[in-house]
Amino acid sequence: MRRLASYVIFIVCCGLALSQQPERKCLREKVIVFPELSTNTWVKLHPNESMTQTEFTVCLRFYPDPESSNPCLFSIATPSNPRDISLLWFVDTKQYQLVIHNSLVQFNGLPLNLNQWNTICVTWDVKNALAQMFVNEVASIKRVVGPKQAFKGEPVISLGQCQTKVHSAFHLSKTFTGFISDVHMHNQVLTINQIKTYMEAKSKYKLGDYINWHNLMYTIFGSAEINEKHQVTFKVKEEQP
């Protein structure tokens, strides 16, 4: 009996050690490092609530040196669609790509700098199914993408990989290598002034009410890791409020 008990304890402890536990932290002034071309390396974000959005804004900063042809920054799978939201770009043509409800749209001529911080925000609204993208203070035109449907249900949110057919099924051609920071998702379309404030990296920009980098619940997989922004890039510190 004693032997059985210690056996059970051993199995329980091993199971706990092997399964990654989500952590909640403020990642202000921190980056996530995506150091290798591997579909095992990604970060899962855990929002407090399941999705009910009819509009959204996603903003993040990325510092790329891509090894794949179509690196993915951010993606959301829901029960109804493994490609409900994806944000990626084509390395060869420097076109950004947005997927909404499995429909695809491309944005041309926006900046994309290797080994530098790029700031990107994307907005979408169910009313007219219009998306707009903002990169380094350049605004795209507005484009129609996806059916006029709200987002619904329990999401799987990933950084550094795009979900394809089934949840968390990744493809090497969509693996991101570089740094990602300051990820925020809002339940509304931000105004151009709110986006500009975020772009300028002012500390008083609006924090996400669905995903908030300053109070983030996340799980790290593979060789991704958290580093201090000022220890890996020459970016100056955010202004103090």
Q: Which residue is closest to ligand NAG by CB?
A: 48
| φ, ψ dihedrals at 61, nearest 5° | -115, 140
Residue 71 token pair: 């690196």
Nearer to ligand NAG, 95 or 215 (CB): 215
Find the shortest distance in angstroms from Cβ 47 to ligand NAG. 7
Q: With contact defined as beta carbons under 8 Å apart, do 21 and 220 qualify?
A: no
Three-state secondary-structure class, residue 195: helix
Least spacing, CB of residue 135 vs ligand NAG, in Å: 24
Query: CB neighbours of 190 closer than 8 A, spacing ≥ 6?
Result: 57, 59, 121, 123, 198, 206
Q: From CA 199, how far away is CA 68, in angstroms rounded?
A: 26
> What is the rounded CA–CA span in Å between residue 94 and residue 113?
10
By C-beta, is 176 or 210 nearer to ligand NAG?
210
Closest to ligand NAG by CB, 33 or 121: 121
Residues that bind ligand NAG (CB under 6 A): 48, 209, 212, 215
How far apart are alpha carbons 47 and 218 in whole angstroms?
9
- Give, as one character, the DSSP assignment of residue 236: P
Q: Closer to ligand NAG by CB, 139 or 217: give it.
A: 217
CB of 184 to ligand NAG, least distance (A): 9
CB of 212 to ligand NAG, least distance (A): 4
* Closest to ligand NAG by CB, 71 or 155: 155
| Minimum gap (Å) between residue 172 Cβ and ligand NAG | 32
